[in-house]
Every structure is written in C-alpha cells, then in structure tokens.
Amino acid sequence: MIGPPGCGKGTQSVRIAGHYGIEHVSSGDLLRRHVAERTTIGRTVEQCMQRGDLVPDHIVMDILRKPVEAASRRGGYVLDGFPRTVAQAEAAYRVAEPLGAAVRIALYLKAGRAELIRRLLARGAQTGRTDDTEQVISHRLDVFDEAAGPLLAYYTHRETLITIDGDQPVSHVTEAAIRRLDQARQQLGMPDISLAGTGGTQRTHQATISATTPARAAYAALSTRRHTDPGRH
Ligand code: AMP
C-alpha cells in the first residue's frame, strides 16, 4: 500500500486485510512501537521520525523481515507504508522473492495535498502524534512526493499497480479497492480467497462468522462501525 501521509493507508490496509483474512503489517506502526519501547532501534530512529525523514533502509528491512515472512506463511499480507523508495522496493524483492513472499499488487491511494494536511492536523490534535504538526507534515509530504514518481513507475512496469482516489469517504475507498483488487487477482490467476459479498451487510455477516484471524476480527468490527459512521477516517 503506497500513499502520502494522511491518505488513509492505515485505515484502508486494516479493512482490506480483514476482507481477505490476511495480515496487516505497517512499517510505521512497527517503528513507533520500537520508539515507545525505547529499544536500540527505537532510540536510533526516534529523531529521524520526529523530523519526518525516512528511516534508513536497512533498519526498515530488518524490522519487517520476520513479520512479513510470518504473514506470508499464514496466507498473505497487506504491507502498509513500505516500500517508500525504489531502493526499498528492489531490496524487498530480492529478499522476498525466494521465499514466495514478494509483492504481487501495489495499491496507490491518491489524495490532494490540502485534504491530507487537514486530516493530519486533525489526527495530530486527536492523538498527539508528534510528526503530525504543520511543519513536519509539510516535510513528510515533500518526502513522499520526491520518491513517489519513481516508485509508482517501478510498480507500473514490474507488478500490477492499482490507483484509487483516497479523497472519497472511507467505505467507498475500501469498496473501490476491493473491486479493483479482485479484478487484478483474477487476472493474475490468484486463488479466490475473497469474503466478498455483493453488499456491505452480507460482507459484515461473513466477516463476523469467519473472524478467525485478528485482521478478520478487526474488519468485522470496522464493518459494523461503518454502518453507523461512514465518513470516519
Ligand atoms: P507512517 O506511519 O507510514 O506515516 O510512517 C511514519 C514514519 O515512520 C515516517 O515518516 C518515517 O519516518 C518512518 N517510516 C515508516 N515506514 C518507512 C519506510 N518504509 N521507510 C523509511 N521510513 C519509514
């Protein structure tokens, strides 16, 4: 899952992973956990994250390796926030391909800068996330813009790239993403593991009765919430 800060990557990754009953792995969440737990890695990356700069590739590769391998063994994953650069995409490919864990589909969640800033400032006020301040937001968006062109070109040529308009309400984005993912999965000859029904209610029911993984349980919870709070980000 590729997209600028504030595009809804985290929210959508959880929903999509839940829909397919696969794992959600977020590089940002893993890094924030290291910072919160004051591990050696956490202390190394803290300032870099606070400035809104990218953490060195070898550290990101290091923290992702085990969770991605494990998720791959359990049936697949949505990787949220990685890769951020072509160098990371290439490094990941080299490591993952022999393990059968390589990225098959890249999903780009596109959103306008003004909307991204509005969302991130709102999130910062709500959660106190230290990189959701005006100056750091602006820098993070610039960092994304700089790497995005080559990264999207890489996936256009190498894998299947799906672009979704992230400015829509949350549930519309999820539905559009799942529709396009199902099409791409079919084209790639991937097995049909989708829980998809034709409507939200059916999907909610199916996700609830088959909530056998944390991601499915999370999706079931989100799906239920979606009916009462459709515009939530
Ligand atoms: P995110 O939660 O995806 O917005 O990421 C928050 C911060 O974590 C970023 O601003 C970076 O400092 C760091 N980060 C997350 N993922 C990566 C990555 N793939 N490569 C380098 N830095 C990352």
Q: Which atom, in ligand 1's list, is nearest to the CA of 131?
A: 10
Q: What is the mean pLDDT of residues 134-145?
A: 97
Ligand 1 pocket test target in 2, 7, 54 with most atoms within 8 Å of CB: 54
- Pocket of ligand 1 contains residue 5 by CB under 6 Å: yes
Compute the residue count for the chain.
233
Q: Rounded distance, CA 218 to CA 17, Å?
A: 9
Specify whether the CB–CB gap between 53 and 67 falls below 8 A. Answer: no
Looking at per-residue confidence, does 220 or 177 come out higher? 177
- Pocket of ligand 1 contains residue 144 by CB under 6 Å: no
**Mind listing the pLDDT tens digit for each residue in 199-213?**
333 333 333 333 344
DSSP-assigned letters across all residues of 156-181: HHHSEEEEEETTS-HHHHHHHHHHHH
Q: What is the mean pLDDT of the chain?
A: 84
**Mind listing the pLDDT tens digit for each residue in 17-34?**
999 999 999 999 999 999
Which residue owns the Cα nearest ligand 1 atom 19? 82
Specify whether the CB–CB gap between 151 and 87 falls below 8 A. Answer: no
Specify whether the CB–CB gap between 58 and 110 falls below 8 A. Answer: no
Ligand 1 centre distance from Cα of residue 81 (Å)? 6
DSSP-assigned letters across all residues of the chain: -B--TTSSHHHHHHHHHHHHT-EEEEHHHHHHHHHHTT-HHHHHHHHHHHHTPPPPHHHHHHHHHHHHHHHHHTT-EEEES---SHHHHHHHHHHHGGGT----EEEEEE--HHHHHHHHHHHHHHH--TT-SHHHHHHHHHHHHHHHHHHHHHHHHHSEEEEEETTS-HHHHHHHHHHHHHHHHHHTT--------SSHHHHHHHHHHT--SHHHHHHHHHHHHHHH-TT--
Q: According to the model, what pLDDT value does residue 212 have? A: 42
- Pocket of ligand 1 contains residue 82 by CB under 6 Å: yes
Which residue owns the Cα nearest ligand 1 atom 10? 52
- Pocket of ligand 1 contains residue 27 by CB under 6 Å: yes
- Pocket of ligand 1 contains residue 166 by CB under 6 Å: no
Specify whether the CB–CB gap between 49 and 55 falls below 8 A. Answer: yes
Most confident of 6-15, 66-75, 155-164, 188-197: 6-15
- Pocket of ligand 1 contains residue 141 by CB under 6 Å: no
Looking at per-residue confidence, does 12 or 96 come out higher? 12
Task: Enter the pTM of the model.
Answer: 0.82
- Pocket of ligand 1 contains residue 35 by CB under 6 Å: no
